[in-house]
Chains A and B, each alone.
Chain A
Amino acid sequence: MQEARPFWTLARREALAGGLFVAPQLAGVLVFVLAPLALVFWYSLHEWNVLANTFEFTGAQNYQDLLQDATLPPVLAASAVFAAGLVVFNLSLALLLAVLLNQKLVGITAFRTLFFSPVVVSLVAWTIVWGFLLQANGGINGVLKLAGIEGPNWLRMPATAMASVIVVQVFKNVGLNMILLLAALQGVPRELYEAARIDGASAWRQFRRITLPMISPTILLTSVITVVGALQVFAQIAVLTQGGPGHSTTVLVYYLYQQTFQFHRFGYGSTLAIVLFAIVALLTLAQWQLRKRFVFHEQS
């Protein structure tokens, strides 16, 4: 006969506690992330018009439509240009600011606060002000006029609309990347610079050979955040340009919104969502690979 052991052993109690603690989050992910992901795939195989109340299985029809959609190439191009422009401009400005704000200067905290402040200004408010400034007779052209330059109608010309949207977005959010990079800069051990100075390395060389490799994990992190964020941009486009002129600023999420909620093509909208998901998944995977190859690791 075995001796009777208490049912609630430590291991069982731990399992119960663990299960209870993660249950809300797990249920949430199942209901609000994974189930909708499965559904969006299922919807993408259907022709679904909410107004006409039709929902019929069409197999790969939406995906064939996707290949023949003449609007899709400019939409993907706009998304790519937006993401690329944002990453390049955002990361280089963030790095410049982080290095500047890492200097020992009187009042540097005030500068940090001011450079960071757009992050806490609500997004649509910020976008509205820039829309106001970028009009044909707006503040920016007013300033240019003082310098004798006749500015364009920034948001109504294909060549300048995309650049404007990128600029508005960069100044809104660059503060976040700036702070992450600043934290990384402050984590670089001082001794490395001292050793390099003794060896007579120039400031630029120190930056290239010490600073950049040491903060490379943070650069990668900020670039991931920025690219994925760029692919999700919606409010700025909706407020500033409504995707125009032409399709020059119609990014993927804006197109998805138009097709689904303005033209009521839920099936095709779901197909576009699958495209967005595929792009985000591929990028995340690629960046994970990059991490292995290019990011400098400490011994730890």
Chain B
Amino acid sequence: MQGRLSPRTQAALYGLMCLLLVPFVFPTWWMVTSSVKPISEIFAFPPQLWPAHADFSSYQQVFKLQPFARQYWNSAWIAAVVTLGTLGVASMAGYAFARIRFPGANALFVVVLTGLLIPSEVTIVPLFQMFRALGLVNTHWPLVLIPIFGAPCVFATFIMRQFYITLPAELEEAARVDGLGRFKIFRTIALPLARPALASVAIFTFLHSWNLYLEPIVFLSTPTLFTLPQALTQFTDAYGGPMWNIQLAAATLTALPVLLVFVVAQKQFIEGLAHTGLKG
């Protein structure tokens, strides 16, 4: 477990890891390379790891067959607003539950925690009816409001609370002596210190929103309002069969930006997400 490993053990470990990597890396590789293969080459035998004749026409088709740029924008702005909103709501509530002593705090925290126990799939029917009554079905409102204020945000609040609990009390006491109010203390002292927790909340909130599938297909029916996960499955031929090269091109366009950001900021990603689970 510790100490120096013999060269043979090292070689064996590298071999094992490379073998295990195949199902993790190959699908993404296959998605990207196949998206530039002509359809005849996609199903070639033996399978081609590298496209012989790069053909980018499926990428043009992606934008022709559907308002894909619009759908991209829908997913991007919804994820951005949800992330910012969640950071706001969760950092405030998490701070209060961790550091402000006020009557009923514990009882309220228990009420909020019920959100962790109730999957959003349980409440999808009434939520649909609520938004229908307000005339907000087939708008982006449900996809923005439910994550920011509902069950997904509770996890973020919990993480923020766990973080704020670890801050030393002296940091705030000095500010209090200087006569700073709670909001000022929160904004100038606690919030800047919470950057690691905020980063991890931002990462998982963004990924959660970017991946959301059930809510969009329940709430949205107009293609120009669709989000990416929903749009990806719409590239089908007249018989309902998938148009593979186009689906794979669209999937690549959906997956690649986040993947590239991840490669650049992977330390932040991995540490941020490890942070969220450390003190369960």
B121 within 8 A of A: yes
CB of B13 within 8 A of CB of A21, answer no
Q: Quick check: which of A26-34, A57-65, A80-88 contacts chain B, the rest being far away? A: A26-34
Which residues of B from 95 to 132 have beta carbons under 8 Å from A?
95-97, 100-103, 105, 108, 111-112, 114-115, 117-127, 129-130
Residue B63 is within 8 A (CB to CB) of chain A in the complex:
no
Question: Does chain B have a CB within 8 A of A24?
Answer: yes
Whether B255 contacts A121 by the Cβ 8 Å rule is yes
Within 8 A of A (CB), among B253-272: 254-255, 258-259, 261-263, 266, 269-270
Q: Which residues of A contact B169 (CB under 8 A)?
A: none
Q: With contacts defined as CB atoms under 8 Å apart, how many contacts are there between chain A and chain B in the complex? A: 304
Q: Is A74 interfacial (CB 8 A cutoff)?
A: no
Structural contact, B266 and A113, CB atoms closer than 8 A:
yes
From B1, B96, B150, B277, contact of A207 by CB (8 A) = B1
Is residue A163 within 8 Å, beta carbon to beta carbon, of the partner chain?
Answer: no
**Beta-carbon contact of A129 and B274 below 8 Å:** no
Q: Does A105 contact B1, Cβ atoms closer than 8 Å? A: no
Contact indicator A117/B270 (Cβ below 8 Å) = no
**Given A105-B14, A179-B274, A281-B117, are A32 and B207 also a contact pair (CB < 8 Å)?**
no
B119 touching A276, Cβ below 8 Å: yes
Give CA–CA (A40, B157) in the complex, Å: 25
Tell me how far the C-beta of A52 lies from the nearest C-beta in chain B, rounded to whole angstroms.
16
Shortest Cβ distance from residue B77 to the other chain A in the assembled complex, whole angstroms: 16
The answer on a CB contact under 8 Å between A26 and B118 is no
Judge whether A130 is part of the interface by a CB distance below 8 angstroms. Answer: yes
Q: How far, in whole Å, are A235 and B254 apart by their CA atoms in the complex?
A: 16
With beta carbons under 8 angstroms apart, the residue of A25, A146, A280 that contacts B119 is: A280
Q: How far does the Cβ of A269 sit from chain B's closest Cβ, in whole Å?
A: 5
Interface flag for B52 (CB, 8 Å): no
Interface centre among A112, A113, A175, A217 (most CB of B within 10 A): A113
Cα A229 to Cα B125 with chains together (Å): 19
Select one of A15, A25, A123, A130 contacting B211, CB under 8 A: A123
Specify which of A100, A218, A231, A235 lies most central, judged by the most chain B CB atoms within 10 Å of its CB. A235
Choice from B16, B45, B217, B233 contacting A100 with Cβ under 8 Å: B16
Residues of B within 8 A of A167 (CB): 23
> Which listed residue, B92, B101, B151, touches A32 by the CB 8 Å rule?
B151
Bound form: Cα–Cα A217–B24 in Å: 27
Q: Which of chain A's residues have a CB closer than 8 A to the CB of B103?
A: 15
A39 to B150, CA, bound (A): 15
Could you say which residues of chain B place their CB within 8 Å of the CB of A280?
Answer: 117-119, 122
Q: A100-B13, A117-B28, A183-B277 are in contact. Are A143 and B47 (CB under 8 A)?
A: yes
**B40 nearest CB across to chain A (Å):** 13
Question: Which one of B13, B123, B255, B274 contacts A182 once the chains associate, using CB atoms below 8 Å?
Answer: B274
Total number of B residues with any Cβ neighbor in A under 8 Å = 100
- Give the CA-CA distance A21 to B93 in the complex, in Å: 5
Q: Is the interface of B mostly helix, strand, loop or mixed?
A: helix
Q: How far is the CA of A28 from the CA of B112 in the complex (A)?
A: 9
CB distance from A244 to the nearest CB of B (A): 14
* Chain B residues positioned under 8 Å from A34 (CB to CB): 111, 114
Q: Which residues of A contact B50 (CB under 8 A)?
A: none
- What 0/1 readout, one digit per residue, does chain A (216-255) give for beta carbons within 8 Å of chain B? 0110011001001001101100110000000000000100
The interface residues of chain B lying within 8 Å CB-to-CB of A19 are 102
Q: Does A118 sit at the interface, judged by CB under 8 A?
A: yes
A117: chain B residues within 8 A (beta carbon): 24-25, 28, 259, 262
Across the interface, do A100 and B17 meet the contact criterion of CB distance under 8 Å?
yes
B192 within 8 A of A: no
Q: What chain A residues lie within 8 Å of B20 (beta carbons)?
A: 96-97, 100, 115
Asked if B228 is at the interface (CB within 8 A of a chain A CB), the reply is yes
Asked if A180 and B89 make an inter-chain contact with CB atoms under 8 angstroms apart, the answer reads no
Q: Are B114 and A128 in contact (CB under 8 A)?
A: no
Residues 1-32 (chain A) with a chain B CB within 8 angstroms: 13-15, 17-19, 21-22, 24-32
Chain A hits for B254, CB < 8 A = 122, 124-125
Q: What are 12 A-B pairs with beta-carbon distances under 8 A? A: A18-B102, A22-B108, A31-B149, A33-B123, A37-B123, A111-B21, A124-B211, A128-B233, A145-B45, A206-B1, A260-B125, A273-B124
